[in-house]
Amino acid sequence: MEIEGTPIDAARGGDAPTRERVARSILENGPSTAAALAQRLDLTPAAVRRHLDHLMEEGAVEAREPRVNGVRGRGRPAKAFALTEAGRDRFDQQYDDLAAQALRFLAETGGEAAVKEFARRRVSSLEADYRAVLDRKPELTAPEALAEALTQSGYAASVREGPVGEQLCQQHCPVAHVAHEFPQLCEAETEVISRLLGRHVQRLATIAHGDGVCTTCIPNAITPESPARLSRHTRG
């Protein structure tokens, strides 16, 4: 386990690199307790709490009361720490303003259709990435392969069980600030997700509109053989 204040930490340039690891772990895994972060990053709980305190002072992280399902046990449940909008800004690309200006110019000169076509072309590479993941890891389900392909593009995606199927959760969106003004980016992404999974999906939340996570509902298949399996058998 890494101990803060040791030559290991000094060799890394002080606290900043470790603090960034803490913030990135929250970004990639969602709201996390101090204990979970300590285990995930191989740090002492005291070191994690110190970094969390600093990140909260900077306004990059906020503490949230945990959701309690069923009967609450003895003791106070541990708080979960989540990135704020300012915290997410640290990981966003540096050219948001330039991208937004370019899309505004495209909208003025080419109209709505031009913006939509740009959005579709931007996510077209996701299909190739998805196929490559399935070829490399055939044991994955289609949603799992899609999540890995999205993660490779900076979306920190994962698949979770939902009330009526699965949920594709993207903890980060590299184009969130631009997508707030141009929702066509989100719409094109949803279209390609639906096409790759072979069923209609629904966006429940997006970072671009102020939610903490981009969440897409993937309903259960209604056919005897799931589209996830069909997509794997028929790809090529």
Digitized pLDDT (tens) for each residue of the chain, 236 residues in all = 444 433 333 333 457 788 989 998 998 888 899 999 999 999 999 999 999 999 999 898 999 876 655 555 565 678 899 988 788 777 665 567 788 899 999 999 999 999 999 999 999 899 999 999 999 999 999 999 999 999 988 898 999 998 888 999 998 888 888 999 999 999 999 999 999 999 999 999 998 888 889 999 999 876 544 444 444 444 44
Q: Any idea which residue has 């959701």 for tokens?
A: 67
What pLDDT score was predicted for residue 112?
A: 93
The CA-to-CA distance between both ends of the chain, in Å, stands at 45
Structure tokens at 139: 């044991």
What pLDDT score was predicted for residue 153?
A: 87
Long-range contacts of 38-42 (CB under 8 A, 24+ apart): 41/2, 42/1, 42/2
Q: Who's near 158: CB < 8 A, 6+ residues apart?
A: 147, 151, 168, 169, 171
DSSP string, the chain: -B-TTSHHHHHTTSHHHHHHHHHHHHHHH-SB-HHHHHHHHTB-HHHHHHHHHHHHHHTSEEEEPPP--SS--SSPPPPEEEE-HHHHHTTS-TTHHHHHHHHHHHHHHHHHHHHHHHHHHHHTHHHHHHHHHHHH-TTS-HHHHHHHHHHHTT--EEEEEETTEEEEEES--TTHHHHHH-THHHHHHHHHHHHHHTS--EEEE-GGGT-SSEEEEEEPP-SSS-HHHHHHHH--
Q: Who's near 88: CB < 8 A, 6+ residues apart?
A: 27, 172, 176, 207
Beta strands 202-205 and 80-83: pairing type? unpaired
pTM over 0.75: no
Outline where DSSP puts E strands in the chain. Answer: 61-64, 80-83, 157-162, 165-170, 202-205, 214-219
What pLDDT score was predicted for residue 135?
A: 95
What pLDDT score was predicted for residue 212?
A: 83
What pLDDT score was predicted for residue 232?
A: 45
Structure tokens at 160: 């979770």
Structure tokens at 101: 């200006």
What pLDDT score was predicted for residue 138?
A: 94
CATH 1.10.10.10 range(s) for the chain read 7-89
Q: What is the residue type of 155?
A: Y
What pLDDT score was predicted for residue 89?
A: 72
- Specify the CATH number for 7-89; select among 1.10.10.10, 3.90.1150.180, 3.40.50.10480, 2.40.30.200: 1.10.10.10
